[in-house]
Amino acid sequence: MKNQIALFTGTRSLTGLAIQLATNCEYVHAAVGINGRWYEASESRKHFGPLDRMRYANRRCAVYTLPPRSGSDWDSWLQAMHRREYDWEGVFLWMFKHQGNPEKFYCHEAAKSAAAVCDITVPEHPVSGCHIANALDCAGIRPRVGKFGIIV
């Protein structure tokens, strides 16, 4: 199965709008697909966990397929991420270029962490969707672009 990162464009929340304005980046949300199951850290969910595919089906995104890694690498990653709290403070502080709580995650940090499983470094902190896209592009990974429900 494929392991992927989806970077979503557009916004459906005030937080997303603030992120888009602060970062000048079209990617305001990220999700990670592991063996066909999708996960996210979101303000509405309040922790890292399964993504509601129907909720995102019509959202435009860029989906990057990650290089293969052993299943145990991904199992360890998922175990470490499971139910980690959403980092509200980190999102707010992000806009002012400060690091939030390292025990919590927001969506782009989760995607950065998933890229690291594949030895892809996203050097920026705080990290935005554009930083992730640039790192994946530099690693030679090209996205499929379209509506989430159609391309995954």
- Any residues with CB less than 8 A from the CB of 132 and at least 6 apart, and which? 5, 7, 27, 30, 108, 111, 112, 115, 122
Q: What is the C-alpha to C-alpha distance for residues 6 and 77, in angstroms, rounded to an integer? A: 17
For the record, the structure tokens of 99 come out as: 């690091």
Give every CB contact of residue 5 below 8 A, 6+ residues apart in sequence: 30, 31, 32, 33, 63, 64, 66, 111, 114, 115, 132, 136
DSSP 121: -
pLDDT of residue 102: 67
pLDDT at 130 (0 to 100)? 92
Give the residue carrying structure tokens 């709580």: 101
**Contact between residue 65 and residue 2 where contact means Cβ atoms under 8 Å apart:** yes
Q: Kindly report, residue by residue over 90-103, the tens digit of the pLDDT.
A: 666 666 656 666 66
pLDDT band at 60 (very low <50, low <70, confident <90, very high): very high
pLDDT exceeds cutoff 70 at 79: yes
Q: At what angle do helices 129-138 and 107-117 cross, to 10 degrees?
A: 20
Cβ contact 28:16 at 8 Å: yes
Least confident of 34-38, 95-99, 107-111: 95-99
Element spanning 85, H or E: none
Which has the higher per-residue pLDDT, 15 or 129? 129
Q: Which of 108, 100, 9, 105 is nearest to 56 (CA)?
A: 9
